[in-house]
Amino acid sequence: METIEAYLQRKYEELRLLDSCLHEPIASAPPRSIDEGIELKFKLTAALRAQHDLSDWTATETAWSPGKKGRDGPFEFTYDYQRADLEVVGPSFYDVDEVFFGSDIVYTSSGMASISALLLATSHVFDSADVVVLPGSYGETIEFVEGYGRHLRITAVGCAGGETGSPTARILLLDSCTLAKDFEACLRSSWAQFDLCIFDTTCFSSGSGKIKRALRKARTAHLPTVLVRSHTKLDSLGAEYGRLGSSMFVRYHNDEIWAASGLKKLLGEMRNAVRLLGAAALPAHFPPYVGRRDYPTLTARRVAAILRNGRRTAHFFRGALRGLVAQLDFAHGLYVTLKCRRPMDEKSAREAAAEMSHGLRRAGYRIRHAGSFGFDFGAAEWVHDIGREGFAVRIAFPDLPTAIWDEQSEAIARWWSEFDRSCAS
């Protein structure tokens, strides 16, 4: 369990990391409360973004100003008109380098921009392909495949089935927001049937053992692999520094074998798709603290606290809410979903999330109606209910002190039970 004192010290270390990236550090005192720490973090983040704009005011969208390369912290940027040819040199967001030989990274303006451009680019590598997904895979990714991937077909749920040597290519779409049992079953199954693995790692910490296991599995199966990620969530210390996504093309072998796998062609086609879609990343959205020595440790401690709170909440909800839980065992452990005895539609789920977060905030609890996760506060939002035709409310965990979040979990359970009774009456 983490005490309030230990939590505030950890938050002070995060604030000092942000502060150290400013040309003129603010050198604020240690936060005296949880709310003060959250407020200071967002103020420092805003100051860092403003500093970037003031420092690189000549780096225009049309690149009319010749001269030095753009920089922000450890990242160096080279580009011409509209960043269509953006090249980035800097530290990796991932901590899995020991698993592979090397990599090539394409940065984009968001996680969805990355996976959309990548899926479009596969049309130049595969005439047609079956996309195998797990239950609960990110809804907008499935929506994109169904709406715009004319050469792609979602044919199965799960990893089983498929014949090696089939004339139709098979792409494994592995998603970090699936259920734990399905993710584990996929890692235990054979991947010999697949021609490409696209792994959305967004919900896993950048050094997660689950990412490393999947990479080792793909390497053993000689399966070309691309890691897709939104960096707005877990990679920005809970401050949502800026919209940023990436696709990492993993090299398990030398250049000749890598080119023969088709990844080299896919990499080139994705870069072209990013150019034509205008989906290149903004240099101002690269967190300058990523390369600092304390960053990996502080990020790992944040995520560990979130996961610890998540395990405790899932255990508590399992007993306190019984039939009102939709899903408690996601592979990532970052959130759970709640349901009602009377099925909810999108409108009622959205209203429930807003009403709960506003009501609990008025009572002094740290929760907001926010459509994301990885914050320093709890977050509620509507979601599709996995496995059912309907909707649920997602509760995303923060890294608050253990006793504080335990108390808030109890308040959420009380509120949801009363809400369900009011809906049923």
pLDDT of 126 reads 94
- Segment 84-108 shows an average pLDDT of 85
pLDDT of 410 reads 98
Residues 368 and 307 in one domain: yes
Tokens of residue 175, six digits: 């998603």
pLDDT of 390 reads 86
Residue 386 has pLDDT above 90, yes or no: no
pLDDT of 205 reads 94
Residues 241 and 379 in one domain: no
pLDDT of 377 reads 96
Residues 74 and 190 in one domain: yes
For the segment 38-50, what is each residue's pLDDT rounded down to a tens digit?
999 999 999 999 9
Q: Which structural domain range is residue 151 located in? A: 70-285
Residues 117 and 20 in one domain: no
Task: Specify the range with the lowest mean pLDDT, choosing from 166-180, 303-317, 397-411.
Answer: 166-180
pLDDT of 157 reads 61
Which segments of 68-124 does DSSP mark as H helices, in order? 111-121
- Residue 413 domain flag: yes
- Residue 274 domain flag: yes
- Residue 138 domain flag: yes
Residue 66 has pLDDT above 70, yes or no: no
- Residue 304 domain flag: yes
**Position 262 confidence tier, pLDDT thresholds 50, 70, 90:** confident
CA 215 – CA 219 distance, rounded (Å): 6
CA 174 – CA 201 distance, rounded (Å): 8
Residues 79 and 168 in one domain: yes
> What SS3 state is found at 103?
strand
Task: Specify the range with the lowest mean pLDDT, choosing from 29-43, 99-113, 153-167.
Answer: 153-167
pLDDT of 249 reads 95
Residue 53 has pLDDT above 90, yes or no: no
Tokens of residue 27, six digits: 């050198």
Mean pLDDT for all residues in the chain:
91
- Segment 215-243 shows an average pLDDT of 93
pLDDT of 177 reads 94
More confident residue, 67 or 362: 362
Share of the chain above pLDDT 70, in %: 92
Residues 110 and 228 in one domain: yes
pLDDT of 101 reads 67
Q: What is the CATH number of the domain that holds 133?
A: 3.40.640.10
pLDDT of 165 reads 53
- Segment 216-245 shows an average pLDDT of 94
**Position 143 confidence tier, pLDDT thresholds 50, 70, 90:** very high
How, if at all, do strands 378-384 and 391-396 pair? Answer: antiparallel
CA 156 – CA 162 distance, rounded (Å): 9
Contacts of 6 (CB under 8 A, 6+ apart): 401
Residues 120 and 27 in one domain: no
- Residue 63 domain flag: no
Q: Is-contact 232 327, C-beta < 8 A?
A: no
- Residue 60 domain flag: no
pLDDT of 138 reads 92
Residue 156 has pLDDT above 70, yes or no: no
- Segment 392-396 shows an average pLDDT of 97
Residue 109 has φ and ψ, to the nearest 5°, of -80, -5
Q: What is the CATH number of the domain that holds 319?
A: 3.90.1150
Residues 234 and 303 in one domain: no
Total number of domains constituting the chain: 3
- Residue 292 domain flag: no
- Residue 65 domain flag: no
pLDDT of 1 reads 86
pLDDT of 98 reads 67
Residue 159 has pLDDT above 60, yes or no: no
Residues 281 and 302 in one domain: no
> Residue with structure tokens 């451009």?
117
CA 91 – CA 146 distance, rounded (Å): 35
Q: Is-contact 283 75, C-beta < 8 A?
A: yes
Residues 420 and 347 in one domain: yes
- Segment 221-240 shows an average pLDDT of 94
Contacts of 258 (CB under 8 A, 6+ apart): 251, 252, 264
More confident residue, 377 or 99: 377
Residues 371 and 279 in one domain: no
pTM, whole model, 2 decimals? 0.93
Contacts of 377 (CB under 8 A, 6+ apart): 38, 366, 367, 368, 398, 400
pLDDT of 68 reads 58
More confident residue, 63 or 161: 63
Residue 257 has pLDDT above 70, yes or no: no
Task: Specify the range with the lowest mean pLDDT, choosing from 61-70, 116-125, 277-286.
Answer: 61-70
CA 421 – CA 321 distance, rounded (Å): 12
**Position 17 confidence tier, pLDDT thresholds 50, 70, 90:** very high
More confident residue, 395 or 101: 395
Residues 76 and 187 in one domain: yes
